Amino acid sequence: MRPVKMTEELWQHLLSLRERAARPVVLSADIDAACLSLYQPVAQRDRPFVLAQVGQSLDGRVATPTGDAQDVSGCDGIAHLHRSRALADAVVIGVGTVVADDPSLSVRAVRGKSPVRVVVDCNGRMPEQAKLLHDGGMPVLIMQADDVPRRKSAHEVVRLPRQADGGLSPRDILAALAARDLATVLVEGGANTISRFMDAGLVDRLHISVSPIIIGSGPSGIRLAPIDRLSEARRPEVQIYNIGTDIVFDCNLRVEAGRKAISPECENVLMADTA
Ligand SMILES: NC(=O)c1ccc[n+]([C@@H]2O[C@H](COP(=O)([O-])OP(=O)(O)OC[C@H]3O[C@@H](n4cnc5c(N)ncnc54)[C@H](OP(=O)(O)O)[C@@H]3O)[C@@H](O)[C@H]2O)c1
């Protein structure tokens, strides 16, 4: 596990990468390499990039059964989320999260620009009083199926073809964002939205930020198509970072981890079991 320490110099450097600065802020030799490797893939602008992020408890929950999702993450987990927002061009959530949490999706815990806000609202059920529609913050893009009756909106509604499964294609959503020069995308939740992007194979990195609390019951942050056998489970290459109050599992979904070599201790246990 790699401890992470963000410094002002490193944050300036990351923001300069995000802004495609002709001359990015130069780093001193003793910079925290772990911190750089956690955030640089999101900050750099050499290719389109999708980061998905889940803030969860030790037992893998993101809310209580009654929907209380406030403060699942500790303060460093929240700072991590806000850094990810500040390094992204756009943040995507499903309409379920708007209904449940009424978020603003702005950057507050760190210094940086807030991303464009994108709500996947296939069937046009976003509450008219949702905070992000009225707070005067960054632009809001609403992704909607092209067969939904048009309603007047103060925000841009992007109409996309409804797919055979009744939903919108995550690939179409990313293409619509790329057409608006929004190529670094943070998919912030909830489970339905993240899982659709993952099932479509469009997520480069998944950050699972684990906070040391046990909720005991309630929804989880990812809900993929069921599998029968653990051998079918995804085993991405993972780097683990200690960010303070929370632990971040940085999963590279483009690289499948090889099966780890068995340690001598483990091998002894296995041999004893079969003896
Ligand atoms: N801790 C965290 O990291 C975190 C972050 C965000 C949210 N959350 C929690 O997650 C929960 C909400 O998650 P959720 O899974 O219920 O809802 P969600 O993912 O926020 O929204 C799901 C809805 O969005 C629409 N949608 C999303 N992607 C779509 C696509 N590709 N095509 C068509 N429609 C699409 C659908 O709307 P229709 O049903 O209208 O078709 C779908 O039912 C809340 O409890 C919230 O607190 C946790």
Ligand 1 pocket test: pick from 62, 64, 162 the residue with the most ligand atoms within 8 Å of its Cβ: 62
Side chain identity at residue 111, one-letter code: R
Closest residue to atom 30 of ligand 1, CA basis: 168
- Name the residue of 193, 194, 209 whose CB sits within 8 Å of the most ligand 1 atoms, as the mutation to test its pocket: 193
Tell me how far the alpha carbon of residue 62 lies from the centroid of ligand 1, in angstroms: 12
Query: What CA–CA distance (Å, rounded) separates 257 from 208?
Result: 17
Contact between residue 86 and residue 107 where contact means Cβ atoms under 8 Å apart: yes
The pLDDT tens digits of the residues spanning 243-268 come to 999 999 999 999 987 655 456 665 66
Determine the pLDDT at residue 269: 64
Do 102 and 134 meet the contact criterion of CB atoms below 8 Å apart?
A: no
- The span from the CA of 250 to the CA of 238, in Å, is 5
For residues 264 and 54, give the distance between their C-alpha atoms in angstroms, rounded to a whole number: 34
Ligand 1, CB within 6 Å, residue ranges:
54-55, 62-63, 67, 69, 72, 93-97, 100-101, 120, 122-123, 125, 167-168, 170, 188-193, 196, 219, 221
User: For 46-89, how does the pLDDT look when each residue is reduced to its tens digit (9 = 90+)?
Assistant: 999 999 999 999 999 999 999 999 889 999 999 999 999 999 99
Please identify, by atom number, the ligand 1 atom nearest to the C-alpha of residue 197: 31
Could you read off the pLDDT of 213-231 as tens digits, one per residue? Answer: 999 999 999 999 999 999 9
pLDDT of the residue at 148: 96
Asked if residue 189 lies in contact with residue 97, where contact means CB atoms within 8 angstroms, the answer is yes
| Mean per-residue pLDDT, 135-151 | 96
Structural domains in the chain plus CATH codes: 47-274 (3.40.430.10)
Taking only the tens place, the pLDDT of each residue in 83-112 is 999 999 999 999 999 999 999 999 999 999
- Render 27-73 in DSSP notation, one character per residue: PPTT--HHHHHHHHHHH--SS-EEEEEEEEETTS-SS-TT---TT-S
